[in-house]
Amino acid sequence: MFNNVIVGIDDDEGGRDAIALAKLLLGDDGKLTLVQVYQGDSAVSRSASPEYEAAQHDRIRELLEERRAEAGVDAELRWYGSASVGRGLHELAELTGADLLVIGSSRRGLLGRVVVGDDTRAALNGAPCAVAIAPTGYCREPAVIHEVGVGYDGSPESHAALTLARLVAAEHHAGLSAFQAVATPAYLYLGHLVSAAPAEAVQIPRELERARERIAALGVEPRAAYGDPVEELTLYSASLDLLVIGSRGYGPLGRLVYGGVAQRLARTARCPLLVLTRSARTAADDAEATVEQRQHVSRNLLDGAVGSHR
């Protein structure tokens, strides 16, 4: 699916989880790189002895080789010194032209959930490419994609997420659905209906039906619910093998800036989470255009073959 994937490896099980997810998302002819970022800013580099740096690099190389052998993957190995894990991963993604960064979630928290620790959060904020997060313990479960879901709200970002999700689902022969969370009116949090509420309450089933109709018109299984978007998407993710969401990119480089929904969902999703940046949106649009061109050429060739036999 992705052509150039880098995987952040740590000394814990998160690296194994990330590799398991990366293997699923990597295209047939894609390039896989296992990387570890270590504390290596300029001040530290000047004070460290050559012997210490050599020993550190040897330790990292051995760890990466061990992870590569365990996973049975063909991958390049790289280590990179930076003031922080997140910054180092971003710089490596830019240097290598990666289109996907895969990381593991923190082991702190409920088993099987994506719980964002400091390093994971740093890798998310400002990423120059799409980011995928593997839940804790993912490497111990069968890594399959049978059901793909999309967080949908009608925005260009959610349309891009749906485009890529279609490609992932087709590649894995998986089911595909899209979910829209419609915000709950404030009065419902009171636990009862106030005087103006009945007329609005009647609209809830209608709004849900309209949301399902909009999604069904896109050619995918429609899902919708009233409530807090993060809470509802978290419940939705429990039925999926991959949840894809879009996030707005800001600034001249189109880097990822997480809003409330995306960052909160990164902490609570119950399946692997794939977040697209603006650059990833462009790649998804290009991929969809390529598929449409191939389908158009195939139809023309078929028409020509039929016409020649008339």
Residue pLDDT, tens place only, 66-75: 999 999 999 9
Average pLDDT value for residue range 211-224: 97
Region 192-205: what's the mean pLDDT? 60
- Residue 113 is predicted with a pLDDT of 41
Range of the domain at 116: 1-143
Domain match, 104 and 45 both = yes
Final residue before a domain boundary, out of 117, 143, 169: 143
86-92 mean pLDDT: 88
Domain boundary among 143, 158, 175: 143
Average pLDDT of the chain, as a whole number: 79
Q: Classify residue 100 as exposed, middle or buried by CB count within 10 Å of its CB (0-12, 13-18, 19+).
A: buried
User: Among 143, 172, 192, which residue terminates a domain?
Assistant: 143
Residue 309 identity (one-letter amino acid):
H
Same domain, 167 and 203: yes
Same structural domain for residues 175 and 301?
yes
Higher pLDDT, residue 52 or 80: 80
CATH of the domain at 265: 3.40.50.620
Q: Same domain, yes or no, for 156 and 300?
A: yes
Do 60 and 152 sit in the same domain of this protein? no
310 has a pLDDT exceeding 80:
no
What would the pLDDT profile of 121-159 be if each residue is shown by its tens digit?
666 667 789 999 998 889 998 889 999 999 999 999 899
Q: Rounded CA gap, 299 and 307, in Å?
A: 12
Q: Is the pLDDT of residue 300 over 50?
A: no
Q: Which DSSP string do the residues of the chain spell out, in sequence order?
A: -EEEEEEE--SSTHHHHHHHHHHHHEEEEEEEEEEEEEE--HHHHHHS-HHHHHHHHHHHHHHHHHHHHHHT---EEEEEEESSHHHHHHHHHHHHT-SEEEEEPPSSSSTTS----HHHHHHHTT-SSEEEEEPTTGGGS----SEEEEE--SSHHHHHHHHHHHHHHHHHT-EEEEEEEEPPPGGGGGTS--TTHHHHHHHHHHHHHHHHHHHHTTTSEEEEEES-HHHHHHHHHTT-SEEEEE--EETTTTEE---HHHHHHHHH-SS-EEEE-HHHHHHHHHHHHHHHHHHHHHHHHHHHHHHHT-
Q: With a cut of 50, say whether residue 296 has pLDDT above it.
A: no
- pTM to 2 decimals? 0.79
Per-position b or e across 130-144, b if 16+ CB within 10 A of its CB: bbbbbbbbbbeeebe
Same domain, 88 and 39: yes
With cut-offs at 50, 70 and 90, classify the pLDDT of residue 12: confident
pLDDT class of 260 with cuts at 50, 70, 90: low
Same domain as 18, residue 151: no
Whether residue 299 sits in one domain with residue 165: yes
Question: Are 184 and 99 part of one and the same domain?
Answer: no
pLDDT at residue 76 tops 90: yes
Tell me, yes or no, whether 51 and 154 share the same domain. Answer: no
Confidence at residue 84, expressed as pLDDT on a 0 to 100 scale: 82
Asked whether residue 226 falls in the same domain as residue 303, the answer is yes
Query: What is the pLDDT at residue 263?
Result: 72
Statement to judge: residues 74 and 97 lie in one domain? yes
pLDDT at 278 over 80: no
d(CA 195, CA 173): 50
How many distinct structural domains can be found in the chain?
2
